Structure 1
């Protein structure tokens, strides 16, 4: 079949009321003769489905089974208001045949005889952890169909499936045919074109001072599209042209031929070519139609990359919004229930109630709902929610949906006199529950329009839904400043007096601006930044703007309230977040890692944080991926210690880290790690630095100089690797002792001229030993002075140490390694009792590893053995019981190890090392077998599995 005939077939199906024969013909053309269903039809059905017909099972070229169905619901309202229930019911239909996890379904309503219907694609969410068909979540995408619908995009996208051979479309092709991207891109292009036209009409050389043509044009266009939404659904009678009297009639309709060859390029002409849905899309449930959520997306897009960066505004995906709204409601309801323990309701019962539409959550039992319904309904009616950076209203719309749908579920358990229609539930929520503030008046306008439309679409002829905007719950102002000379302040306790008379907000939720200190400075916001800092207590250092939203948010919620924000994750470990972390470490409700893909345009790793005003015992760690939440574990907030870095909490090896954290000592108890030199010293050193060249002799009293590039593992690489220092290159860099001592007389001189470990500050944890104090450490290096220098030489270079610091300080990553600091080393867990620390073995093995690093004539196997031996001894130090249980006693079987001094000839040193190596390579030697058994230790497997090739022994 060619494309023209294919589109005719699809058009005949979609522009008419639903007809089973037409649908059957379409399925036959698309899939050939599908197999008969493997199971008989159901005798009973789950609401909202009142009738259904299984119409076959199609197997795609890759062996994937796809169910073909028609289902009928009772009312037109069920098509829009019962989407979650419909998804769950279809999932149960699929569960009858466990070989089927995807379905093509025609959904019609009995009320109008199928005049308005939908062609829906239900696909299993394949990246979900749920594998049981009975609980697998489904994603749904629908084409609206029927005589009143615009089916242009259905023709284009479904027509391609019907071309060519019968019965050949793959699962991927079907998934791609039910896509919303083409419509969204086409509508965005037209929307921005109309914006440019309106803006051009508003521009005038005699405009009033301060008049913002761009903001006015955005507001005008948003109201036009909003009114068009209402007009298309039969809920607006007034003329659209009356909204903007300055626009000519040709703007609305004309006879021009478009680039696509269609007649009419005016506002009415173009919008009439798009399908419209007044309903907001929901997570995992989309319609191929223009819907109010697109206003939010377009708001972000029309800011442009520069303005988006300057305002830090990024649109939050609906799956993330839903998760945050639900989790905040769960906390709120649990807090209210906890005030009366007689209710006897567990947190899991509340969670099951809020997540009622997800197949992976069990239903709350009927008896509990009957007894709790009046209480829960009252709490949901009384909740006070606010988004302090409301943007285009994503969180307010998300919370509106959750409040209405949850109270709608409760209606069947309430006395008749307490039941309310969906419209009245929405009106109450908008009038009494949902508050919002934003510094951008245009954002407030769009949020208000979306709320107004959400209310209007559920009003019927018996209800007059008046949008309660005069109540003043959406406000323009700077949420961070109560007083501001520039006039953008927002007085919370004055403008929301009733809320604070009751103690504050129950839920504060949102996605605050992602402005860092550099962008604020570039945008000349230093004065505002100073005013914000003055008004805050723990917004300190080089802070990003969202830090202030955390602090302000905590001051605005009630004692039982919750603050829930999605932000970049930098604050989890960076110094500018230290004061915040110290203040909130025992107030965390949950931390959820979201990752980098959550926003299309903001390339940041995001985290969702929930806080309460009062300390609590534990908080929950989790991950959110593709809208599905994966709880990780519970963690005690009080166990977090200074500087309260949180990034390690998301390590996949948290259990191993916690076990190491339980050790009673720290490296800082026996030694002090310090920065080798201050920044000024590093630059001063450059002025006296000399180069002996490739073969030049060093003068008497010369001190060799190393930095991060030549401070190697176990031994330095001075003279073997050129050193780059402040952009200049040196073959064999040095300073004279006299000049160095004359230039530096303080702490730097002391650190340089005494025995020490010199540690690279970047990428890898490489520590070389300076036993004589003859090496000068340069820029970006760390030093350790200690009595047990050789022992610490082994510890710092061990793979276990690198694993711990790499996982503990994940936010300090640099070039696939870590940007090391003195704090990391000083806080390294270190057992207080160690035979190795004070034994001669520590110096002998330290010397061995220095020689092994320097001598290229030794085989790699010899080097690998001694590195493995030292790593084994460190494991034996850290997990002695596990090693003993595995029969590993490396220290006890070291025996006599030959030592050598500075005068031992080179050849003799190599011979000694080879002799020891061959002794321990005897398969009957206990040490040989102990090293082979190391991988039976759980911690060893975790460390080596985590490091892989990122740990370099030499």
Structure 2
């Protein structure tokens, strides 16, 4: 289909009321080949559980894609319009029911209501999500019972814009020549494409708005960073206010006629008003937006007959309160002149769309007031996007400096659920301590230098009001059961009344949850949670959703259930707190909570004012607070609490201002006093002061959750704040560490006893040196509940980070089994995290001197065996050093041509010029010297004096062309011409093992003569070098290295000294060494000759011999010994000619490679040994 024709078809379908014949035409063009049917179902043909919602439906056909996957095509008429908006779970359940009946996996469904004759309808893609579980034998199976479905929908019809649907469905319509695959159809319903495009346009609007604000008189008195900061905040807030109103107009709350009901307002109010303003030749911002923001929405009109009516616009506008529309400047006196073209114009963007103004861009998108759920997505701009917009507003430099990254919704969802599960498990169930030692290594958590300790794997023994597995069912799946259990309850009542004999429909919510519904609801209502680095509010909003969802799942079993709106209002008031250093983040976080309330406000007779969140979501420095020994005036705190409660609900502008001033004065009196009597400076916030009611009632938070910033502490070197951190966070502070480590200690202090902390942070603390204090802190002060290591899988799309999730409680318990999982190879951003964890079974968390590891259970015994057999390399008689750091390689590293030139000018220069290897020149067992040389103007060592450059005038002349760079470099010696001091310089003249720091696999080689390396490489000198070389290059230690090192992206590892020296090497054995060392001699010679088959075979033989050194009993038992069958292996001394060496190597290869030789047979079947097989599978790259 041609583009113009396709666009017309989409417009005809999606911008009009639902018409079944037009819809069928659209499907024929979208899918090309469909098997048409027209089966009509109504009355008794509709399943009883859905009769209240579904009046009739049609199965209009099916589609089979090129891969043979089938899809049903349905049209469903709903009884009322409210079912279209609010019965989302029911609609998914109906879709699943029909898909199972018709034996299909997915379906395209048009949902409409007969109440408005299809004026607004949904075009949905529904796909069954097969949930896996583990049986008693540990095998993963698929649940047949109560399978959920994911639904992605376009909200379309007379009141909607078809822009998004056109953008995403157009490519499929244009493609007449090929039927679309299921994956392509599913991709057309991707919300990520929509949001990514919207974010880019939003950012462009922000930059354009900022330019217009640059010259405004309001900001002229400011300069530098303050000027930029105020403009940025104003621009962000203005766009946030307009976006908020787009969600508001979606509910029909703006521009309501004087005598009409709330909800009847124009869905294009903002655009309609622009037309009126333009016709009157007025300014949209000055003459409309300012009055809308700071008068109509911000001021109560109590004294009017209709408080909602706003005379200036001759329509009803709701009074919102809350502070979002509280002016930050004197808007009636100050002038901000923003041209109308900033809001609407006729310019074309790069994609050919007309209009680049704020209203133009926003009008092109569908806005949905429904918050995203894991199984329910609307292909539109939803409230959740505001958080992502905020993170996108940070440019690359700002994001790095603030360490702020937007947490994917699936991870927020999982962490919030896990926190609630652990919280409920504690408050509902009385735990009885029961220690059951499961192996002697568990007694010592840290182990010692030779052996690793292990977290205790303890049996749980507790008296349960509600078993933990039932709590998990409520939190994870309770919302799926609401409609089903409502029908089950109704059937039970009818049975009790004798109206029917029995019922086959039974409750899905566990019996213990139903029996204790009142208690569970009470505990959920009482939770107190805080995000100390709230950012855009993802975690508080996530907790709000999970708490309300769980309480709604209990509603059918409560005497007095509440509405979603009432539950949200209560949760925001009683449960949620947050802090952030960035005021714009606070603005967005508050906005998101207000939006969450508006979403579920259904009382159109009286729209309730938004709460004031000034003392719930607070701007401040979480890490700098009052010292522990400071006296706290409890009585004064209680008086502030009373004022805050009054302020929270206050709607009168004057009273609100007065209360804020009184509260602020009292708070700052305490802050000023604390600074006078402590060594800390710049204290602008303290948790126990600002949130004193939490400590007053329960001594701390039940849950601390979040994604604290990732910023290196050394960036604050020399600043007073670093000294304050060092004093306040002695248990976790390290100068080479990261701020998130301090947040762990702060989070711990914020918890009440047995409270739960859930953070997603960098995973560097697990193995890095700076994380040692943090690891000890966790072990000595907390009970770790769960650790998820994402390895180098990228959780945050906007930056390269290496992350982990950690949950712990503020307690020391002996009856908790740690759930640990390694998702380094299994993370997918779109998949539910709990399902990924199930598919990649939980392993075990193990501590060793070098760090904290997540290890699959099958690897644990092998790791322990390697540690038992080996001795740490740091305890061998060897020395490990890094290569030379020149500070400016372009000057000091030269090629052979330049070397010859300098020597030709003065033969004395030969004294300074020595061979050097770069990292890329080093391979496994061999090196390629590529004629590179270093001008070694050393700074003296042992008895040698520093090089005097004046003795080498030609070299000095050469270096002078880089004089400015040499002067500016930090790494220099007594003069700019000298290299930095290096005490171990003579080591480079010895026989040594060399290797590159960054490598995807072991690449260790032997360097025999004088050879230098750069600082991205290392050298090892000492005894038994060939023996050590073979073991370092082996699969055994390659496998082990993964547990003690840190990966960087792309499966690259860092072979730095601190990791390599922690490798356990099997002790030198003379009998075995004579074979291994001879084979090591063969390999570099064969590499030079290019004999790949022989090289590969002998390298495999060395690897097999190392396996035999570490697992001798296992290999002997399997009959796969190699050393025993070797015979006499001929050496190749340096005195031999190349021909003689080749002859010997060839003869040994022919002998051992013979198909009948036991060495070759055992080598090829070595993976029949379980330990070998497991290691090889783990190393598959």
SS at match of 2:621: coil
How far 1:204 sits from its partner (Å)?
1.4
The answer to whether structure 1 residue 401 and structure 2 residue 545 are counterparts is: yes
How far 1:859 sits from its partner (Å)?
5.2
Task: Check conservation: 1:29, 1:166, Cα contact below 8 A.
Answer: no
Out of 313, 334, 343, the residue aligned to residue 464 of structure 2 is 343
Out of 605, 622, 645, the residue aligned to residue 479 of structure 1 is 622
The answer to whether structure 1 residue 619 and structure 2 residue 819 are counterparts is: yes
String of CA shifts for 1:115-168, please: whole Å, max 9, x gaps: 443121224679999978878764433222344434444456556755685995
Spell out the pairing of 1:333-372 with structure 2 (5 A cutoff). 333-339=424-430, 341-343=462-464, 345-356=466-477, 365-372=509-516
The answer to whether structure 1 residue 503 and structure 2 residue 679 are counterparts is: no
How far 1:777 sits from its partner (Å)?
8.5
Out of 822, 839, 861, the residue aligned to residue 1070 of structure 2 is 839
Go from structure 1 to structure 2 and tell me whether the alpha carbon gap of 1:158 and 1:225 turns closer, same or farther (over 3 Å shift).
same
SS at match of 2:372: coil
Separation in 2, partners of 1:881, 1:274: 68
Separation in 2, partners of 1:279, 1:924: 71
Partner of residue 298, structure 2: none
Partner of residue 400, structure 2: 309
Out of 123, 126, 137, the residue aligned to residue 122 of structure 1 is 126
Separation in 2, partners of 1:288, 1:383: 33
Go from structure 1 to structure 2 and tell me whether the alpha carbon gap of 1:14 and 1:331 turns closer, same or farther (over 3 Å shift).
same
The answer to whether structure 1 residue 721 and structure 2 residue 721 are counterparts is: no
String of CA shifts for 1:524-556, please: whole Å, max 9, x gaps: 994434433332121213223322222222221
| Most deviating of 74-83 and 562-571 | 74-83
The answer to whether structure 1 residue 454 and structure 2 residue 651 are counterparts is: no
Partner of residue 442, structure 1: 584
Go from structure 1 to structure 2 and tell me whether the alpha carbon gap of 1:77 and 1:847 turns closer, same or farther (over 3 Å shift).
same
Spell out the pairing of 1:229-244 with structure 2 (5 A cutoff). 229-235=247-253, 240-242=289-291, 243=293
| Most deviating of 241-250 and 324-333 | 241-250
Partner of residue 144, structure 1: 155
Go from structure 1 to structure 2 and tell me whether the alpha carbon gap of 1:101 and 1:752 turns closer, same or farther (over 3 Å shift).
same
Partner of residue 263, structure 2: none
Separation in 2, partners of 1:251, 1:117: 34
For structure 2, the 5+ residue unaligned runs are 133-139, 257-287, 295-330, 432-461, 485-506, 627-674, 949-979
Out of 1030, 1054, 1062, the residue aligned to residue 794 of structure 1 is 1030
Go from structure 1 to structure 2 and tell me whether the alpha carbon gap of 1:923 and 1:169 turns closer, same or farther (over 3 Å shift).
closer
The answer to whether structure 1 residue 804 and structure 2 residue 1040 are counterparts is: yes
Separation in 1, partners of 2:338, 2:996: 71
Spell out the pairing of 1:57-72 with structure 2 (5 A cutoff). 57-72=62-77
Separation in 2, partners of 1:105, 1:745: 74
How far 1:498 sits from its partner (Å)?
2.2
Partner of residue 549, structure 1: 743
Partner of residue 644, structure 1: 851
Out of 102, 106, 113, the residue aligned to residue 102 of structure 1 is 106
Separation in 1, partners of 2:985, 2:914: 14
SS at match of 2:755: strand
Go from structure 1 to structure 2 and tell me whether the alpha carbon gap of 1:18 and 1:928 turns closer, same or farther (over 3 Å shift).
closer
Go from structure 1 to structure 2 and tell me whether the alpha carbon gap of 1:112 and 1:823 turns closer, same or farther (over 3 Å shift).
same
Partner of residue 203, structure 1: 216
SS at match of 1:500: helix
Partner of residue 231, structure 2: 213
Out of 934, 947, 951, the residue aligned to residue 1166 of structure 2 is 934
Partner of residue 784, structure 2: 588
Separation in 1, partners of 2:1074, 2:771: 41
How far 1:35 sits from its partner (Å)?
4.1
SS at match of 2:1063: coil
Partner of residue 1063, structure 2: 828
Separation in 2, partners of 1:898, 1:169: 65
TM-score (normalised: structure 1): 0.82
Separation in 2, partners of 1:883, 1:382: 60
Separation in 1, partners of 2:858, 2:946: 47
Separation in 2, partners of 1:794, 1:740: 38
Task: Check conservation: 1:47, 1:89, Cα contact below 8 A.
Answer: no
How far 1:422 sits from its partner (Å)?
0.9
Separation in 2, partners of 1:914, 1:229: 79
SS at match of 2:929: coil
TM-score (normalised: structure 2): 0.68
String of CA shifts for 1:496-547, please: whole Å, max 9, x gaps: 11223313222212222233457x46xx994434433332121213223322
The answer to whether structure 1 residue 560 and structure 2 residue 754 are counterparts is: yes
| Most deviating of 367-376 and 252-261 | 252-261
String of CA shifts for 1:43-83, please: whole Å, max 9, x gaps: 34469954552332122345332211233556555544443
Separation in 1, partners of 2:762, 2:692: 32
Task: Check conservation: 1:52, 1:72, Cα contact below 8 A.
Answer: yes
Partner of residue 882, structure 1: 1114
Go from structure 1 to structure 2 and tell me whether the alpha carbon gap of 1:358 and 1:61 turns closer, same or farther (over 3 Å shift).
farther
How far 1:350 sits from its partner (Å)?
2.2
Partner of residue 1020, structure 2: 783
Partner of residue 643, structure 2: none
Spell out the pairing of 1:279-290 with structure 2 (5 A cutoff). 279-290=370-381
Separation in 2, partners of 1:158, 1:857: 59
String of CA shifts for 1:156-183, please: whole Å, max 9, x gaps: 6556755685995554553454354357
The answer to whether structure 1 residue 319 and structure 2 residue 407 are counterparts is: no
Partner of residue 603, structure 1: 800
Partner of residue 223, structure 1: 241
Go from structure 1 to structure 2 and tell me whether the alpha carbon gap of 1:78 and 1:38 turns closer, same or farther (over 3 Å shift).
closer
The answer to whether structure 1 residue 174 and structure 2 residue 185 are counterparts is: yes
SS at match of 1:663: helix
String of CA shifts for 1:189-212, please: whole Å, max 9, x gaps: 367537744873582177455561
Go from structure 1 to structure 2 and tell me whether the alpha carbon gap of 1:891 and 1:262 turns closer, same or farther (over 3 Å shift).
closer
Separation in 2, partners of 1:702, 1:900: 34
Partner of residue 383, structure 2: 292
Partner of residue 667, structure 1: 872
Task: Check conservation: 2:72, 2:99, Cα contact below 8 A.
Answer: yes
Go from structure 1 to structure 2 and tell me whether the alpha carbon gap of 1:670 and 1:143 turns closer, same or farther (over 3 Å shift).
closer
How far 1:790 sits from its partner (Å)?
5.4
Task: Check conservation: 2:79, 2:115, Cα contact below 8 A.
Answer: yes
Separation in 2, partners of 1:939, 1:160: 52
How far 1:737 sits from its partner (Å)?
12
C-alpha root-mean-square deviation of aligned residues, in Å?
A: 5.0
How far 1:644 sits from its partner (Å)?
0.9
SS at match of 1:356: helix
The answer to whether structure 1 residue 193 and structure 2 residue 193 are counterparts is: no
Partner of residue 34, structure 1: 35
Go from structure 1 to structure 2 and tell me whether the alpha carbon gap of 1:16 and 1:776 turns closer, same or farther (over 3 Å shift).
closer
How far 1:491 sits from its partner (Å)?
0.1
Go from structure 1 to structure 2 and tell me whether the alpha carbon gap of 1:18 and 1:859 turns closer, same or farther (over 3 Å shift).
closer
Partner of residue 638, structure 2: none
How far 1:468 sits from its partner (Å)?
2.8
SS at match of 1:783: strand
Separation in 2, partners of 1:360, 1:873: 59
Task: Check conservation: 2:532, 2:578, Cα contact below 8 A.
Answer: yes
Separation in 1, partners of 2:27, 2:1021: 75
How far 1:39 sits from its partner (Å)?
13
